[in-house]
Structure 1
Amino acid sequence: MPAHNQALQLDYHCTCSAAGKETNEDAAGALVPDSTYLQNYKGAAFVVADGVSNAEAGQQASETALNSFLTDYFKTPDTWSVKQSAEQVLSTINLRLFRHSHAYSSENKGHLCTFSAVVIKSHTAHLFHVGDSRIYHWRNQQLEQRTTDHTAYLSKGRTFLARALGMDGNLTLDYQSMQLEVGDKLLISSDGLHDFVDPAKINQVLSDAGSCQVAVAELKQLALANGCDDNISIILLQINQLPNQDIDDFHHRLTKLPFPPAFTPGMKVDGLEVIKELFASSRSQMYLVKDIATGQLAAMKTPSPNYEDDSSYIERFIREEWIGSRIDNPYVVKVIRQSRPRSFLYYLMEFVEGQNMEDWLSEQWQQNGQPIKPARALNILNQVAQGIQAFHDNEAIHQDLKPGNIIIQKDAESGEERAVIVDFGSVFVAGVAEIFIPIDHDSVLGTALYSDPLYLTGKNSAIQGDLYSLATIAYELFTGALPYGDKIEDCKVPSDYDKLRYISATRVNPAIPVWLDRALKKGTNFDLQQRYTTVADFMRDIRQPNPEFLKEEVKQSTKNSSLLFWQLLSGFWFITLLLVIYLFVLNRG
């Protein structure tokens, strides 16, 4: 094979079995991409996760960690390093497990697992580790344990796990990298192997076995013969050929991609032809492009040259692609994974043809002179809710949900409408190593009408912030107006918001029932203690009457009836008094 075409070649084998236990709480797997492009820029990944038995949900934790890592790692931007990609993905997984553990705390169900992974990219092995599973390196008949067990000793024979995925909201992860040579072997194992087979025996098997499959089988049998009463997970990989080292230099150049120039129709770049400009602002541009080879249409988003020297802006732009690639939902625009190297900094999304909701709502009002029909509004709202829930399921907060970021598509044949969220520019990802950055009020261009005031004043209201935006959009769908009127756009500081009052939806649209108005009011409440905490709860109360709201309505009606009764009674006695006075005066006369 010519040197300039030399690629990574591996031999590997994996086993994961219940072995000495009734159930298997381990998870082990590997992903070696078929795509040369992915191999070059993301590498090959190998993972062992061991569910913590006494946590009760260890099996779910290990499977979640394995599947999420092998899926999400390969969706990270090509411009991210292996370390950055893996750490951000693992931080997100850790927070997801931690939240599951917290949710089940009353049942003592902890979603905890150990995690050890090896990512092979170019000539380098990247090692990630937390817990007491292990990674060994074998070279020239010598075995070396590369990881440290995260265990604490109470007394002789008594230890406990000090670190694991899902144990704490902030992940403390061990990372190291090492240069590889042809013939190197890397072994990843759960404690079902290394607690029952000593390193000398492991070294002997790796030195004598002819293939990874044979070695793994021998190691498993040794553990069982030595009385293993635990699950056994083993991954063994051997380096048969390494790629050219200049791939790292090329990756370095990729992270320094130049900003693209302003494109005009007919220009060609990286196998794509520019058809037309779709959108342009001070922060980014969007173009309709066509893949010259396949004819596929796509939307190309490019960064604004105004931020060419702004490293934070560049990092957030790159992160948008990663966020979009992790979300697979029919109501969220899909990011297209590219198979060709890029000459400039940009990314591709599916082309969603339609009308943005802002224009769509305005057009509906002009045509009908009234808000759209409730069933139609509810259908659109339900789709937007499913889309925003997909963000939350991936530990991401949208932060800038508004009609301008939603496209309404209409099927030409069936007439069915589909709402698609098309922007990731302000998304905040929980669990990654970043500081919450509030939306800049001066540059939101109308966002203040829909964004949670807490965002705009520098506070992170997380999921509840997206709920505020969703409820505001719901209010507009049902009434054609906004819950606090247009004056909210002029608010700058918290005291400005204190002067605003919720405008009852029933006052704007008398057809709206009181229970629906109560749901909209709760969804747009400035007080987080009074606002919904989940999309599901809000949508449930939008679809059907909440008994609590009906009780409030009855209570208010009773109060009003009682007041009316006393008013009538007082009026009766007043008229009686006047009559008595009149008769008294008449008799005196």
Structure 2
Amino acid sequence: MMRPLTVSIGQHSEKGHKETNQDFHAALTPTGPVLALKGIAIAIADGISTSSVSRIAAESAIKSFLTDYYCTSDAWSVKTAAQRVISATNSWLYAETRRGQYASDMDRGYVCTFTAMILKSRLAHIFHIGDCRVSRLAGCTLEPLTDDHRVTVSSQQSYLSRALGAKPIVEIDYRAVPLRVGDLFILSSDGVHEHVSGSVIATAAKAHADDLDRAARAIVEEALRAGSRDNLTVQIVRIEAVPDGEAGEFMADAADLTPPPLPDPGSALDGYRVLRQLYASSRSHVYLALDTQTEKSVALKVPSTDIRNDADHLKRVMMEEWVARRLNSPHVVKAPPHSRKRNHLYVVTEYVEGQTLAQWMIDHPNPDLETVRDIAEQIAKGLRAFHRLEMLHQDLRPQNIMIDRSGTVKLIDFGSTRVAGVVEAAPEAVRDDILGTAQYAAPEYFVGERGTWRSDLFSFGVIVYQMLTGRLPYGAEVPKTRSLMQQSRLRYIPASEINPQVPDWIDQALRKAVHPNPMKRYEALSEFTFDLRHPNPTLLKTVRPPLAQRNPVVFWKCVSGILALAVILLLWRLTLDG
């Protein structure tokens, strides 16, 4: 069992010499899987003195952040989740001011500063707007981890240059710093940090090491003695333990399970009756089974006997249902609800009655363009469901795409899926192995680069190309490349040379989707699917490569033919002269 992230937190806030306290602060330490996947949140907000409703803004900002952040997808990274929540809160505060009597005077509206810190795994993620501060105590010195968003006019006058709720769109400073046991972080409003030094904070933290609330109160009292005339709030966070070993608390239950023996038709497994085998490979066996409780058919995947000692593969098996439960798209296979206790490790998903795209391509060697477009657009919708949650499929291939009897396309097999939120929770468990199938994997994987959504786009483009031609756009050359130089020499085989029915403008769209350089691919999946239906003038203006590049064999055949003709003419001329 891994050691969880453990912290001690102390907090204190006072109105000081002012009539009301417009500061607001809070902290939330979840337990269990939420602690590993979402982390610990600490936040502070400071209202502005010119606004009578700024206290409401500060309180709303803190409460909505701590509530909404933990409602975001577990798959999202901390940065994505927190920034979206803060941006939504900013929009709400700005709208409230615009609806009120001070619509034209933001200094009297729902405006406040906002600073939050999310502690997850071994990182502190800091989000900052305004002039509250996050500092780290090093000895008796405070190391600032944020910059004040304040413009100084004179020694007597300054104003905030950035605040939550002040503009329709807010700019958020973001920073991530590593955590070490014993680190002491200080979150404070300007009423505190403008009047106390690092030595004061260090003395208070040491004197009240067992009661950080008392330490925070002592710091506030010292700031008052030093002449602070503002509201005063301070939060102290001490790191007691950081995760080590195999970080995977969110999969703790599954980690204790072992794969079952390969079941025979008619046998039972945790309330599922196995009907027949659907598929078998060196990695897994998939069965059609009946849930005896719901009487519904399901697909049951059991790890192969060949990989039962492969810890990395078994971890990916654990993740498959976790991923499926968080995706909501008609073009992604779903995981049915499961309430019964499991005694073994396996994956259960909905049963899709139909065929794989690989089989469909065998049955339809010459599909019409409209059918290919329809399938491509459904694949894109499924991929977008992944990418919206910061997931990469990473093993997109015809065998992992199902077409049911109604023609609906569904993506399956999430054993290679990369989830940003899980990677943050277990960074040491992430390996940069090529998990997908080599023929469809993007070139960047083969030079050791980490994949992005554009890597899924490459695989998607290869599949569309294959539907139209029955071949791969670079043949078998991509997996052989091990450097950027080698990849720059890859030569795209025009689809129109293999299948004359492919229009040149579609060929150009395919060429862009599968470009060896990920930054030269499309900016969005929707751009690619749009260009499959509408000629893109920009792509059509692209200079056609010389024949020597497009088809070296044909080029040298032409050169040889010309040389042969020249030799024949020369011999004929010599014969005449003789």
* Same fold flag (TM > 0.5): yes
Matched, 1:333 2:340: no
1 CA distance for matches of 2:147 and 2:302? 45
Instruction: Specify every segment of 5 or more residues in structure 2 that has no aligned partner in the other structure, as ranges.
Output: 1-19, 49-58, 87-112, 149-171, 193-212, 214-228, 234-250, 547-578
Shift of residue 303 of structure 1?
A: 1.8
Q: Give 1:311's aligned amino acid.
A: A
Instruction: Decide whether aligned partners of structure 1 residues 526 and 471 sit closer, same or farther in structure 2, where only a CA change above 3 A counts.
Output: same
1 CA distance for matches of 2:457 and 2:37? 38
Instruction: Decide whether aligned partners of structure 1 residues 252 and 490 sit closer, same or farther in structure 2, where only a CA change above 3 A counts.
Output: closer
Matched, 1:167 2:152: no
Contact 2:135/2:143 (CA < 8 Å) preserved in 1? no
TM-score in terms of structure 1 length: 0.56
| Residue 426 (structure 1) aligned to one of 410, 416, 431 | 416
Shift of residue 311 of structure 1?
A: 2.2
Aligned ranges for residues 223-302 of structure 1 at < 5 Å? Answer: 255-302=255-302
Shift of residue 264 of structure 1?
A: 1.2
2 CA distance for matches of 1:477 and 1:100? 41
Matched, 1:549 2:549: no
Contact 1:382/1:539 (CA < 8 Å) preserved in 2? yes
Shift of residue 458 of structure 1?
A: 3.5
Contact 1:332/1:422 (CA < 8 Å) preserved in 2? yes
2 CA distance for matches of 1:319 and 1:43? 13
Aligned to 1:349, the other structure's residue is in SS state strand
Instruction: Decide whether aligned partners of structure 1 residues 478 and 555 sit closer, same or farther in structure 2, where only a CA change above 3 A counts.
Output: closer
Instruction: Decide whether aligned partners of structure 1 residues 410 and 340 sit closer, same or farther in structure 2, where only a CA change above 3 A counts.
Output: same
Give deviations 1:437-464, integer Å, cap 9, x for gaps.
2226xxx7xx333222332454334222
Shift of residue 472 of structure 1?
A: 0.9
1:473 aligns to what?
A: 463
1:200 aligns to what?
A: none
Q: Give 1:393's aligned amino acid.
A: R
| Residue 386 (structure 1) aligned to one of 356, 374, 381 | 381
Contact 1:116/1:129 (CA < 8 Å) preserved in 2? yes
Aligned to 2:518, the other structure's residue is in SS state coil
2 CA distance for matches of 1:42 and 1:498? 41
Contact 2:505/2:536 (CA < 8 Å) preserved in 1? yes
| Residue 114 (structure 1) aligned to one of 106, 116, 125 | 116
Contact 1:61/1:113 (CA < 8 Å) preserved in 2? no
Q: Give 1:284's aligned amino acid.
A: S
Aligned to 1:300, the other structure's residue is in SS state strand
Aligned ranges for residues 343-362 of structure 1 at < 5 Å? Answer: 343-362=343-362
Matched, 1:399 2:394: yes
Contact 1:449/1:489 (CA < 8 Å) preserved in 2? yes
Contact 1:26/1:49 (CA < 8 Å) preserved in 2? yes
1 CA distance for matches of 2:465 and 2:127? 52
2 CA distance for matches of 1:493 and 1:127? 32
Instruction: Decide whether aligned partners of structure 1 residues 254 and 323 sit closer, same or farther in structure 2, where only a CA change above 3 A counts.
Output: closer
2:514 aligns to what?
A: 524
2 CA distance for matches of 1:262 and 1:471? 36
Contact 2:41/2:66 (CA < 8 Å) preserved in 1? no
1:238 aligns to what?
A: none
Shift of residue 166 of structure 1?
A: 7.6
Q: Which moved more, 1:524-533 or 1:355-364?
A: 524-533
Instruction: Decide whether aligned partners of structure 1 residues 100 and 48 sit closer, same or farther in structure 2, where only a CA change above 3 A counts.
Output: closer
Matched, 1:511 2:506: no
Shift of residue 353 of structure 1?
A: 1.5
Contact 1:49/1:114 (CA < 8 Å) preserved in 2? yes
2 CA distance for matches of 1:552 and 1:44? 46
Instruction: Decide whether aligned partners of structure 1 residues 59 and 265 sit closer, same or farther in structure 2, where only a CA change above 3 A counts.
Output: farther
2 CA distance for matches of 1:281 and 1:97? 41
1 CA distance for matches of 2:145 and 2:124? 17
| Residue 371 (structure 2) aligned to one of 373, 376, 388 | 376
Instruction: Decide whether aligned partners of structure 1 residues 273 and 132 sit closer, same or farther in structure 2, where only a CA change above 3 A counts.
Output: same
Aligned to 1:276, the other structure's residue is in SS state strand
Shift of residue 541 of structure 1?
A: 2.6
1 CA distance for matches of 2:62 and 2:442? 33
Instruction: Decide whether aligned partners of structure 1 residues 149 and 174 sit closer, same or farther in structure 2, where only a CA change above 3 A counts.
Output: farther
Shift of residue 508 of structure 1?
A: 2.6
Matched, 1:93 2:78: yes
Aligned to 1:449, the other structure's residue is in SS state coil
1 CA distance for matches of 2:302 and 2:82? 35
2:70 aligns to what?
A: 69
1 CA distance for matches of 2:501 and 2:26? 55
Shift of residue 421 of structure 1?
A: 0.5
Contact 2:126/2:174 (CA < 8 Å) preserved in 1? no
Instruction: Decide whether aligned partners of structure 1 residues 293 and 156 sit closer, same or farther in structure 2, where only a CA change above 3 A counts.
Output: closer
Give deviations 1:208-257, integer Å, cap 9, x for gaps.
xxxxxxxxxxxxxxxxxxx99899xxxxxxxxxxxxxxxxxxx9776321
Contact 1:128/1:175 (CA < 8 Å) preserved in 2? no
2 CA distance for matches of 1:271 and 1:48? 44
2 CA distance for matches of 1:40 and 1:493? 40
Instruction: Decide whether aligned partners of structure 1 residues 159 and 29 sit closer, same or farther in structure 2, where only a CA change above 3 A counts.
Output: closer
TM-score in terms of structure 2 length: 0.56
Q: Give 1:422's aligned amino acid.
A: I
Shift of residue 543 of structure 1?
A: 3.1
2 CA distance for matches of 1:340 and 1:371? 45
Aligned ranges for residues 82-231 of structure 1 at < 5 Å? Answer: 92-94=77-79, 114-115=116-117, 150=135, 161=146, 167-168=174-175, 172=178
Q: Number of aligned pairs?
A: 411
2 CA distance for matches of 1:115 and 1:20? 22
Aligned to 2:532, the other structure's residue is in SS state helix
Instruction: Decide whether aligned partners of structure 1 residues 26 and 277 sit closer, same or farther in structure 2, where only a CA change above 3 A counts.
Output: farther
Shift of residue 262 of structure 1?
A: 0.7
Aligned to 1:506, the other structure's residue is in SS state helix
Instruction: Decide whether aligned partners of structure 1 residues 252 and 318 sit closer, same or farther in structure 2, where only a CA change above 3 A counts.
Output: closer
Q: Which moved more, 1:345-354 or 1:253-262?
A: 253-262
Shift of residue 551 of structure 1?
A: 2.8
Shift of residue 420 of structure 1?
A: 0.5
Shift of residue 40 of structure 1?
A: 13
Give deviations 1:159-203, integer Å, cap 9, x for gaps.
76489x9824x5646899xxxxxxxxxxxxx989x98xxxxxxxx
Give deviations 1:95-134, integer Å, cap 9, x for gaps.
6667999xxxxxxxxx99625699xxxxxxx99976699x
Shift of residue 150 of structure 1?
A: 4.9
Shift of residue 499 of structure 1?
A: 6.5
Shift of residue 503 of structure 1?
A: 1.6
Q: Give 2:70's aligned amino acid.
A: F
- What value does the CA root-mean-square deviation take over the aligned residues? 5.5
Contact 1:94/1:171 (CA < 8 Å) preserved in 2? no
